[in-house]
Amino acid sequence: MPETFPSLNPSLRAWLQAGAAHFRPENIVVCDGSEAERERIQSAMVGDGTLIPLDPQTQPRSFLYRTDPSDVARTEHLTFICSDDRDDAGPTNNWMSPAEARTRVWPLFEGAMRGRTMYVVPYLLGPVGSIYSRVGVQITDSPYVVLSLRIMTRMGRVALQHLGAGDDFVRGIHSLGDLHPDRRFILHFPAEAEIWSIGSGYGGNALLSKKCHALRIESARARREGWLAEHMLILGITSPARVTHYVAAAFPSACGKTNLAMLVPTLPGWTIDTVGDDICWMHPGADGRLWAINPECGMFGVAPGTGPKTNPNAVRALRHDVIYTNVALRRGGRPWWEGLSKLEHGEVLDDWRGSPWVTGKASPAAHPNARFTVPLQQCPTASGTFDAPEGVPISAILFGGRRARVAPLIYEARNWAHGVYVGATLVSETTAAATGDVGVPRQDPMAMVPFCGYNMGDYFAHWLKVGKSLPRAPRIFHVNWFRTDASGRYLWPGFGDNIRVLQWIFDRLSGKASGQETPIGVVPRQEELDVEGLDLSPDRLRELLAVDREAWSQETRRVGEFLRSFGDRLPSALRNEQAVQVKRLLLAASHLN
């Protein structure tokens, strides 16, 4: 094992030396991000059977990776914020004292890399040359993580160039450990800008650049510095009149960000520009607007449900150079998942675990949280704006979730403070992106409950403060593509037809649509929504836009309890918004619109 890293800057070198002494790897590789390095790692993994090459004719340079069956999604109950004061983590985070982290978790790293290679992965979050970009260095003993980070981030030499002689980088240590859930921990030290992750090789648990760094660590830094690090897609939309607006949208995990970020509009003359599909950093600009960059340059997208009808742009992006995780495999080396294509009757596949699976079997062939990892530039609607150092100006922010009932298709907040209340009271049904029950409604403010690195009461206050400082703050909307009828069918077609909802947002921004006031905000008048060509009766449209007083009164009571859990950290402005909503609902007629 080499004792020095002659080419690296002294603070990085010292940290790596201390790490290597504790983890005791057999080899150390400092990654440069080159094509040759990628090929070396790939062929070693193909050689030892951990990476399965797909059909080179139809899936060039694409591979399947299977994770341990106990390690298939983020594990929020094993994810902790390690701050000195428990209150700084807040009621929505797990907390561990730094002292306990040292006695309980640090020893798990001792000798954890024995017999393995320790990869040192420098990465840049954000465009090259942007003043908003940040450097991280992840130590990992998983070659799959290295290949994934190479797609998700600007990795290697370019990151070291950004760092230069400086000390300002986020330190991430990651080891697969023994992959046992009892010895799995994902710890964050926001004050030290450090991440420790052990016992998982999956997604946000292991690609530390993503949720751990770009959200949990950076949200805490953003609060100190006056900007916002959010779980949002970034999308540019151009109307037939050639007006362009950029929007950012926060939906919880597996609730439609990647899909909305690359929709194929079903209305003629509209075009889109995919800037980001998961994470968004927004800074107040000199012009009084919020400017957004995507810290990532790849997508780690949900495979099931992605097909030529629902998301043709994703299917096109997946033509080559993809790493698939936990999808099924057709004989002949083509990947498959529920919603991709029709199988032949009686066709036998390997399921996500590698066991034989026959069409018609009740359990899915692909894991419900199976993913594709692919460079953003392979998305046909990514025009390169994601590389712009200054980012894009945001006209509207959307909050949304999966709600079978209650939440209408779209409504607009009355102003910024009300919009923060709408975001803070977001409810969505849980999905397979995290372990635990699926389909249970939960409070997920700004879709950030799993990702906020500090007390969310303070986070709400920060949102209010940022908005106050903006002369041209974005307008705030709430959307719900997932409302169902009595038989459980989606009322709204979704996907490409979501452009119809975006069109209403354009009409609100230009002043063309007056909408209709309700106690929860402004909803479209039925005639303001273009539903031409849809198989949608006026009754169903009415149901989609309905705001039911009884349902909303119950909802608002539950929301009140949730907000009270923040105690005196809850900003008084949100307490006021809550009181206003209660009052408006009391005064309203039972049929609100």
Residue 142 beta carbon to ligand SPV: minimum distance, rounded to whole angstroms: 14
Q: Closest separation between CB of residue 79 and ligand GTP, Å?
A: 15
74, interface contact from Mn ion, ligand SPV, ligand GTP, none, CB < 5-8 Å by kind: ligand SPV
**256 interacts with, out of ligand GTP, ligand SPV, Mn ion, none, CB within 5 to 8 A per kind:** ligand GTP
Closest distance between ligand SPV and the C-beta of residue 501, in Å? 22
Q: Which two tokens stand for residue 384?
A: 């390169």
The interface partner of residue 521, options being ligand SPV, ligand GTP, Mn ion, none and the CB cut-off 5 to 8 Å by kind, is: none
Decide which of ligand GTP, ligand SPV, Mn ion, none touches 391; Cβ closer than 5 to 8 Å per partner kind: none
Nearer to ligand GTP, 127 or 256 (CB): 256
274 binds ligand GTP (CB under 6 A): no
Partners of residue 169 on adjacent β-strands:
135
Binding segment for ligand GTP among 209-217, 303-311, 350-358, 501-509 (CB under 6 A)? 303-311
Region near ligand GTP per CB under 6 A, out of 180-188, 249-257, 539-547, 579-587:
249-257
With CB cut-offs between 5 and 8 Å by kind, which of ligand GTP, Mn ion, ligand SPV, none does residue 560 bind? none
- Distances 78 to 88, 132, 183 between C-alpha atoms, Å: 18, 30, 9
Residue 204 has phi, psi (to 5 degrees) of: -60, -20
CB of 369 to ligand SPV, least distance (A): 8
Contact status, residue 287 vs residue 472, Cβ threshold 8 Å: yes
Choose the contact partner of 211 out of ligand SPV, Mn ion, ligand GTP, none; CB within 5 to 8 A by kind: ligand SPV
Least separation, in Å, of the C-beta of 559 and ligand SPV? 23
Nearer to Mn ion, 278 or 429 (CB): 278
The residue among 278 and 444 lying less far from ligand GTP, judged by its C-beta, is 278
| Of positions 159, 212, 254, 476, contacts ligand GTP by CB under 6 A | 254
Residues for the chain: how many in total? 593
Per CB under 6 A, the segment of 33-41, 62-70, 213-221, 248-256 that binds ligand GTP is: 248-256
Q: What are the structure tokens assigned to 455, written together?
A: 């007390």
Which one of residues 37, 278, 444, 507 is an interface residue with ligand GTP (CB under 6 A)? 278
- For residue 329, how far is the Cα from the chain centroid? 26
96: its two tokens: 């561990």
Using the structure block, give the residue that is written with the tokens 């985070």.
Answer: 93
Q: Which lies closer to ligand GTP via its Cβ, residue 333 or residue 364?
A: 364
β-strand partners of 329 = 335, 350
To ligand SPV, the closest distance from the beta carbon of 252 in angstroms equals: 7
Residue 277's nearest CA partner among 306, 304, 307, 297 is 297
Distant-in-sequence, close-in-space partners of 365: CB < 8 Å, separation ≥ 6: 328, 336, 337, 338, 349, 351, 352, 357
Interface residues with ligand SPV (CB under 6 A) are 74, 203-204, 210-211, 253, 278, 300, 433
- Cβ-in-10-Å burial (0-12, 13-18, 19+) of 505 comes to buried
The 3-state DSSP composition of the chain as helix, strand, coil percent (nearest 5) reads 30, 25, 45
Decide whether 204 or 571 has the Cβ nearer to ligand SPV: 204
Q: Mark residues 474-503: x for contact with ligand GTP by CB under 6 A, - for none.
A: -------x--------x---xx--x-----
CB 458 within 8 A of CB 424: no
- What DSSP string runs through 386-444? GG-TT-EEEEEEEEE---SSSS-SEEE-SSHHHHHHHHHT-EEE--TTBSS-SS-EEE-
Q: Which residues pair with 338 in a beta bridge?
A: none
* Partner touching 495 among Mn ion, ligand GTP, ligand SPV, none, CB below 5 to 8 Å by kind: ligand GTP
- Provide the phi-psi class of 551: left if phi over 0, else alpha when psi is between -120 and 50, else beta: alpha
Cβ distance to ligand GTP smaller for residue 343 or 470:
343
Look up residue 398 and give its two tokens: 């959307």
Tell which positions 423-452 bind ligand GTP, by CB under 6 A. 433
Amino acid at 469: S
Helix (H, G, I), strand (E, B) or coil at 286: coil
Q: How far is the CB of 214 from ligand GTP (least distance, A)?
A: 12
Residue 117 CB, nearest approach to ligand SPV (Å): 23
SS3 (DSSP) at 239: coil
Contact 579, 587 (CB under 8 A): no
Query: How far is Cα 396 from Cα 474, in angstroms, rounded to an integer?
Result: 5
Query: What whole-number distance in Å separates Cα of residue 291 and Cα of residue 393?
Result: 4
Q: Which is nearer to Mn ion, 74 or 134 (CB)?
A: 74
How far is 336 from 6, CA to CA, in rounded Å?
A: 45
Residue of 97, 117, 310, 377 interacting with ligand GTP (CB under 6 A): 310
Name the burial class of residue 261, with classes exposed (0-12), middle (13-18) and buried (19+) by CB atoms within 10 angstroms of its CB.
buried
Residues 248-287 interacting with Mn ion (rule: CB under 5 A)? 253, 278
CB of 338 to ligand GTP, least distance (A): 9
Nearest CA among 166, 116, 169 for reference residue 146: 116
Give the number of residues in contact with ligand GTP, rule: CB under 6 A: 22
Q: How far apart are CA 583 and CA 288, in angstroms?
A: 33
- Just list the catalytic residues: 255
CA distance 100 to 83: 11
305 binds, among Mn ion, ligand SPV, ligand GTP, none (CB under 5 to 8 A by kind): ligand GTP
Q: Which is nearer to ligand SPV, 210 or 478 (CB)?
A: 210
Per CB under 6 A, residues contacting ligand GTP are 251, 253-259, 277-278, 301-302, 304-306, 310, 433, 481, 490, 494-495, 498
Per CB under 5 A, residues contacting Mn ion are 253, 278
